[in-house]
């Protein structure tokens, strides 16, 4: 028993001397300030546009595949008539999504929506957080069915600061039929 206590004490002392030692690390720019990752390493992100899909797509979250034939509306689009309206009484279709393209290493991202309903007011919703991987990412917005303008801010790459931002918007000015 005495030998095991002595071996343990020696081990703890050895670990303490290794961890308390000082080491100097120099950065590539010759100063003690770390260099920010290059823009090419961080990648770039953009909002491609918006689409309206059904719940079978939105339930797949960011891994969703956009169905063939889905109309993608660019930023600044105004939807009128019955474009993007739900066709079911339970509103399981006509759900808005934002389509994001990202190139770079995996990182964190968020999508924040500010609603400006046609009836008045400004409402900033809590952001949707996502794991961002290279390629196309789909993020569900809402569900939003009310007419008005929707401002979307996509933020990504929080590695050494507040993150990169890009924004887009769309306006709903529709006349959706009532579903009973």
Lowest-confidence region among 40-49, 89-98, 121-130, 161-170: 40-49
* pLDDT, position 21: 42
Q: Where are the domains of the chain?
A: 41-174
d(C-alpha 75, C-alpha 51), whole Å: 11
Q: What is the pLDDT of residues 61-88, one digit of tens each?
A: 877 889 999 999 999 999 999 999 999 9
d(C-alpha 76, C-alpha 78), whole Å: 7
Architecture field, domain 41-174 = Sandwich (2.60)
Q: What is the pLDDT of residues 19-28, one digit of tens each?
A: 444 333 333 3
* pLDDT, position 28: 39
What does pTM read for this prediction? Answer: 0.74
* pLDDT mean across residues, the chain: 82
Tokens of 148: 């008005």
* 37 against 66, higher pLDDT: 66
Decide if pLDDT at 102 tops 70: yes
- Percent of the chain whose pLDDT exceeds 90: 61
* pLDDT, position 178: 86
CB atoms closer than 10 angstroms to residue 25: 6
CA dihedral angle for residue 66, residue 67, residue 71, residue 76, rounded to 10 degrees? -10
Lowest-confidence region among 10-19, 29-38, 50-59: 29-38
* pLDDT, position 10: 53
Phi-psi category of residue 120: left, alpha or beta, with phi > 0 → left and psi -120 to 50 → alpha: left
In this structure, are residues 156 and 164 in contact, taking their beta carbons and an 8 Å threshold? yes
């Amino acid at each position: 028993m005495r030998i095991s206590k002595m071996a343990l004490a020696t081990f703890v002392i050895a670990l303490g001397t290794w961890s308390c030692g000082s080491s100097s690390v120099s950065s590539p720019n010759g100063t003690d300030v770390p260099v920010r990752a290059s823009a090419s390493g961080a990648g770039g992100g953009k909002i491609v546009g918006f689409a309206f899909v059904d719940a079978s797509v939105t339930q797949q979250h960011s891994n969703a595949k956009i169905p063939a034939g889905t109309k993608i509306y660019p930023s600044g689009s105004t939807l009128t008539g019955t474009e993007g309206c739900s066709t079911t009484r339970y509103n399981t279709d006509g759900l808005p999504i934002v389509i994001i393209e990202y190139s770079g290493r995996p990182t964190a991202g968020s999508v924040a929506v500010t609603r400006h309903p046609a009836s008045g007011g400004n409402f900033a919703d809590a952001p949707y957080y996502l794991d961002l991987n290279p390629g196309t990412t789909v993020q569900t917005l809402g569900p939003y069915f009310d007419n008005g303008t929707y401002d979307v801010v996509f933020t990504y790459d929080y590695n050494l600061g507040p993150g990169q931002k890009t924004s887009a918007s769309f306006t709903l000015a529709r006349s959706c039929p009532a579903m009973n």
